[in-house]
Chains A and B, each alone.
Chain A
Amino acid sequence: MNEFLHIQTRTEGMVAIIELNRPHVLNALNRPMVTEIVHAIEAYDRNDDVRVIVLTGKGRAFAAGADIDEMANDDPITLDLLNQFAEWDRLALIKKPMIAAVHGFALGGGFELALCCDLLFASETAEFGFPEVNIGVMPGAGGTQRLTKLIGKTKALEWLWTGERMSAKTAYDLGIVNRLIAPELLMEETMTFAEKLAKQPPLSVRFIKEAVHKAVDYSLYEGMQFERKNFYLLFASADQKEGMQAFIEKRKPKFQGK
C-alpha cells in the first residue's frame, strides 16, 4: 500500500525503506515531499514491527537540493507564516535509528535530509554539498548547524561559503559518512547493516540514540546525568534481564524490545 505521491515506502523484515520518488528532477525536495517523508518516518517510528528506517533516493541521485521554483517568489513573511522547517524539526524527535543510503548527489536540502539521519552510508561516487550560497541564500533546514556540529567550524565554513561539491571520500574522511560502498552494492550493504542493527535490543538502541543526541546539545555534566538515567531505565526492561541472564548462562539472548 502506498498513499504517497512523492515517495515510496515498504518494509523488508523489521527494516522500513523510504525512497524519494521524483527521479525526473533528481528527487529535488518540494514541500509536499518533505511532508510525506516526515509522515512516513513518524508512522514507522510508532510501528512496532519496524526497528530501523532506511532513507534513499530513486534514480540517479539521493536528492539534488530543494525545488527552487517553489520558493523563488517567497517573501520573509510568507515564509514565516508557512513555517515549513517546523516539519524538519520533527525528524530530530524520531526515536528509531535512521540510516541514509546516499548515491549520486546529496545537495542542499538533500544533504540536510541525509544529515538528519543517524548514520550515513554512501556510494563511493556520491557527492555532497551546500550550493545555496551560489543562488544568494543559505541552508535553512539545519545545514549550518548539523554540518558544523559534525565537522567543526573551520571545515564547515569552507564548504558552506564556497558551495563546492565534496566527494564521498572527503565526506568519509571528515566523519560525515560511516561507510563508503561500491555503487552497485549500496542498498545491499546498507540493508545487511540495517538488518543486523534491527536484531540489537531495541530499547538499548533507542536509549543510546537519545543519549548520544544529548551529547551534541548538552554540557558534559548534564549529558552524563542523562546517560545515567537511561542506563538505570534499561534495568526496567525484560531485555536487560534476558541479556544478562543469557550472558551468565553462556547462551545467545532473545530480545523482544520490552
Chain B
Amino acid sequence: MYETIRYDIRNQVAWLTLNRPDKLNAFTEQMNKEITVALKQAANDETVRCLVITGTGRAFCSGEDLSGVTEDMDHGEVLRTRYAPMMKALHSFEKPVVAAVNGVAAGAGMSLALACDFRLASEKASFVEAFIHVGLIPDAGNLYYLPRLIGHAKALELAVLGEKVTAQKAYELGLVTAVISEEAWEEEVARFAERLANLPTKAVGLIKRCLRQSWELSFTEYLEKEAFAQRIAGLTQDHREGVRAFFEKRRAIFQGK
C-alpha cells in the first residue's frame, strides 16, 4: 500500500524505510503523506514499541526533491500542507523513535533525523544543512530541534555555513548517540531498537511528553504536568512489574502496558 516507503514490523519494532534510492530518498508530496500515514499507523499499533526511520541505498534522505521545485512555488504553503502534518505526527509520537542514518541526511532529510529521539549514524553517514546553498533557511522543524540538541551557537554555525558534518563530527557535537561501522550496521541498529522496544513503553512516551512540555512551560506549570505523567506511569503494569522484579532481585520483563 506504500509506494515511496516500506513499512515492516519485526520484534515489536516498526521499520519505516524511505525507499526512493535512485533519488537518494528525496521527499515528494506522496512520500510526505505516506510517512504521515505510517507514523499514525505505528502510533496506533499496540504491538509496536519502537520506530526506526532509515533509508535504502546510499542516502538516508537528501531532502526535498528539487526536480519538483518550480519558480512560482509557494514554499510556505509546501511547508504548511506537506511537511507540517508529517513533523507534527512525529513530534507527538509517544514511543521511542530512532533515526538510523545510513548515509547522507541533507536539508529536510536532516530535519527528519533531528526530530527523532535517537540518531544512530553509520560511519558513512553525514549531515548537511544544505538550505543555505540554495538561498533558503533550514525548514521542517530543523531550527527548532537543532539548538535544543546542540545549543544555539553550534546550530547557527551549521545552518549558516552549511558544511558537511561527518558522522564522527556529529558524534562530537552530541548530535548522534553512536557511530556504527558499516559491517555491524544492521545488527547494531536492530539491537538498539529492540532494546528500546523492551523498555516500559508508556514511561518512555511520558518522558518524551515531559521533555517536550518543559520547553513550553513555567517551572510551576511543568511540575503539574510531571505529576500527571507520574500518575499515569504509576498506573501501568510495567511499573508494578518493575517494583516486583526489584524485590525479587530479577530482571523486569516489561510488556509496554
Within residues 215 to 230 of chain B, which ones have a CB less than 8 A from any CB in chain A? 225, 228-229
Closest Cβ neighbor of A184 among chain B residues: B232
**Chain B residues with CB under 8 A of A185:** 228, 231-232
Within residues 123 to 158 of chain B, which ones have a CB less than 8 A from any CB in chain A? none
**Chain B residues with CB under 8 A of A181:** 228
Give 1 or 0 for each of A170-210: 1 = CB within 8 Å of chain B CB: 00000000000110110011000000000000000000000
Closest Cβ neighbor of A189 among chain B residues: B228
Instruction: Tell me the complex Cα distance, A97–B215, Å.
Output: 35
Give the Cβ gap from A153 to chain B, nearest Cβ, in Å.
27
Give 1 or 0 for each of B98-113: 1 = CB within 8 Å of chain A CB: 0000000000000000
Within residues 174 to 230 of chain B, which ones have a CB less than 8 A from any CB in chain A? 209, 225, 228-229
Closest Cβ neighbor of B225 among chain A residues: A182
**Chain A residues with CB under 8 A of B229:** 182
**Chain A residues with CB under 8 A of B232:** 182, 184-185
Instruction: Tell me the complex Cα distance, A189–B232, Å.
Output: 12
Within residues 224 to 251 of chain B, which ones have a CB less than 8 A from any CB in chain A? 225, 228-229, 231-232, 235
Instruction: Tell me the complex Cα distance, A188–B235, Å.
Output: 12
Instruction: Tell me the complex Cα distance, A184–B236, Å.
Output: 12
**Chain A residues with CB under 8 A of B209:** 182
Closest Cβ neighbor of B232 among chain A residues: A184
Within residues 78 to 93 of chain A, which ones have a CB less than 8 A from any CB in chain B? none
Give the Cβ gap from B227 to chain A, nearest Cβ, in Å.
9
Q: Which residues of A pack against B, CB within 8 Å?
A: 181-182, 184-185, 188-189
Q: Which residues of B pack against A, CB within 8 Å?
A: 209, 225, 228-229, 231-232, 235
What are 13 of the A-B contact pairs (CB < 8 Å)? Answer: A181-B228, A182-B209, A182-B225, A182-B228, A182-B229, A182-B232, A184-B228, A184-B232, A185-B228, A185-B231, A185-B232, A188-B231, A189-B228
Q: Enumerate the 7 nearest inter-chain pairs by beta-carbon distance, A residue then B residue, closest first.
A: A182-B228, A184-B232, A185-B228, A185-B231, A182-B232, A185-B232, A182-B229
Q: Beyond the given A181-B228, A182-B225, A184-B235, could you list 4 further A-B residue pairs with CB under 8 A, ordered by the A residue number?
A: A182-B232, A184-B228, A184-B232, A185-B228
